[in-house]
Amino acid sequence: MSKCEQCIVRQLNSLKTLTKEELSHLTSCKGDQIFKKGERIFEEGEHLKGVYCIKSGVCKLVKLSANGKDQIVKLTTKGDLLGERSTLSNEPTNLSAVAVTDMEVCFIPQVEIINAVSTNANFTIDMFKSMGKSIRHSDDLLVNMSQKTMKARLAATLLMLEDDFGKESDGSLSLVLTREEVAGIVGTATESVIRLLSQFGKDKIIKLDGKHISILDYDMLRMVSDGLD
Amino acid sequence: MSKCEQCIVRQLNSLKTLTKEELSHLTSCKGDQIFKKGERIFEEGEHLKGVYCIKSGVCKLVKLSANGKDQIVKLTTKGDLLGERSTLSNEPTNLSAVAVTDMEVCFIPQVEIINAVSTNANFTIDMFKSMGKSIRHSDDLLVNMSQKTMKARLAATLLMLEDDFGKESDGSLSLVLTREEVAGIVGTATESVIRLLSQFGKDKIIKLDGKHISILDYDMLRMVSDGLD
DNA sequence: CGATTGCTTGACCCCCATCAATCCTCGTGG
DNA sequence: CCACGAGGATTGATGGGGGTCAAGCAATCG
């Protein structure tokens, strides 16, 4: 069981504002967990007993829509917290969390979070900031989803994937998703994703190598993402 | 200038957690403002100096998309706070606020809010709850926008309008919007809204009387909203 | 090495964005 | 009181986007 004081990941989220005392206490009460690719961390409607801090791996937050298809609302990774708002507002989650890759996470009990909020003003402010960012993210996404064409949405998604997860030395996107998962982000059918991707390939905007995707022409991709093509 | 202590509207939002002392202080430093239909309370990208508490009227929070069309992200009304998250996280707004009807609002300076957060734990918790609700709302909307057909989105919008704003004694929706505004919520062209509305009318699901809309068959409307028709 | 899961392509057709023209309605000024 | 203009509402025609079903292929795994 690793110590929170020495955890690098912690620097990436609101936990960075905790004092040494708070951290050492946290070490003693947190729990470490492993989730394998495809496993579910929690389920839509579940009542969470604390937050999860991601040490490694990638997780998708999904919501089942009326038509039975999963919509990926957000991808989270190293340093992100899961279930903060349910824990803080003491309400069931509205999303399910599913491991996209193998993951290491720390579980932090609700009491600790509530405690930190009521005694550490820095922590509170930081949580407000991160929730604010979350809302902004949702709003931006909302406008994208409702106003852009599928092509533009897919372009935006590819740019986002590179921005958030980087690329390998060969230039391909580090995070490898199934076509179905990409479709879940874009909000369309997998066939549409395939067709659009192959069109981008023909247009030399991206390069397809099996399931690996490399972006070749960033400017063009950005233009497509803005609907200017 | 009315007193905060006696303000009924305050009961509807996080300000209800303030103490008598905090309220009487608030009375002395808040500002009252009137906005006429169509006026803009604040603009996307603006740096807010505090939050607005809506005493009466309706306001739309909009975001300009790349294609130049306004997307309505949220409608707010009596008791809602505007600009909470920008004020708390000290960042520019990502949305513009425009009066849909004439409005009375109170302006509360940022200092007061920050102050309340750092001294009043109840206020903090309540703010977390309301921001949590806001995120949940955005997520739900996101799934609706990305997965549903226009018809289903419009049906969902009509149900939402009745839920949030009620109906008149004659059964018509209390909040009267232009077709263009409805289109801005649904995320489509005004012509599509018109065509879909008239189709709902023919199907006896709603009744159209000029710009006034009455819902006749709730069950059917809910089914359409779920894409089960 | 079968079987399940994911990928790809084709065909079909409906939904909806867009442009254009007309009608309606209401507020304003003469 | 009426004329007129502007913004909103409506209808039509048209074409492309993308949803859906079906079938075949590749890859991964027990």
Write out pLDDT tens, residues B148-198.
999 999 999 999 999 999 999 889 999 999 999 999 999 999 999 999 999
Both tokens of B185, joined, read 């919520």
pLDDT above 70 for A1? no
- Which nt has its C1' nearest the CA of B196? C16
pLDDT in tens, A99-151: 999 999 999 999 999 999 888 989 999 999 999 999 999 999 999 999 999 99
Interface test with A, best of B63, B96, B135 (most A CBs within 10 A): B135
Range B84-101 average pLDDT: 93
Whether residue B85 and residue A138 make contact (CB cut-off 8 A), yes or no, is no
Q: Is A73 on the interface with B (CB under 8 A)?
A: yes
pLDDT category at B3 given cuts 50, 70, 90 is: confident
- CA B40 to chain centroid: 14
**In Å, how far is A2's CA from the nearest CA of chain B?**
30
φ, ψ at A175 (rounded to 5°): -85, 115
Assigned CATH for A148-225:
1.10.10.10
**In Å, how far is A81's CA from the nearest CA of chain B?**
14
The domain segmentation of chain B, as residue ranges, is 4-145, 148-225
pLDDT category at B83 given cuts 50, 70, 90 is: very high
Closest CA to B82 of B149, B28, B15, B27: B15
Cβ B206 vs Cβ B221: under 8 Å: yes
Q: Is B2 on the interface with A (CB under 8 A)?
A: no
Closest CA to B155 of B197, B187, B189, B188: B197
Partner-chain residue, chosen from B88, B128, B142, that has the shortest CB–CB distance to A138: B142
**In Å, how far is A157's CA from the nearest CA of chain B?**
14
**In Å, how far is B6's CA from the nearest CA of chain A?**
27
B176 CB closer than 7 A to any strand D atom: no
pLDDT at residue number A69 = 87
Q: Is B125 on the interface with A (CB under 8 A)?
A: yes
Burial per residue of B70-84, b for 16 or more beta-carbon CB atoms within 10 angstroms, e otherwise: bbbbbbbbbbbbbbb
Whether residue B146 and residue A145 make contact (CB cut-off 8 A), yes or no, is yes
Element containing residue B88 per DSSP (H, E): helix B84-89
Which alpha helices (H) appear in A78-217, and where do they start and end?
84-89, 110-119, 121-147, 150-165, 179-186, 190-202
Closest CA to A67 of B91, B54, B225: B225
The pTM (predicted TM-score) of the whole model is 0.92
CATH class of the domain whose range is A4-145? mainly beta
pLDDT at residue number B176 = 95
Residue B198: Cβ within 10 Å count:
12
Domains A4-145 and A148-225 are alike in CATH topology: no
B7 CB closer than 7 A to any strand D atom: no
Interface test with A, best of B74, B128, B188 (most A CBs within 10 A): B128
- How distant is C1' of C24 from CA of B178, in Å? 14
Range A7-26 average pLDDT: 92
B226 CB closer than 7 A to any strand D atom: no
DSSP state of B46: -
C-alpha span between B17 and B13 (Å, rounded): 9
Window 84-113 of chain A: CB closer than 7 A to strand D: none
Q: Which amino acid is residue B160, in one-letter code?
A: M
C-alpha span between B174 and B5 (Å, rounded): 29
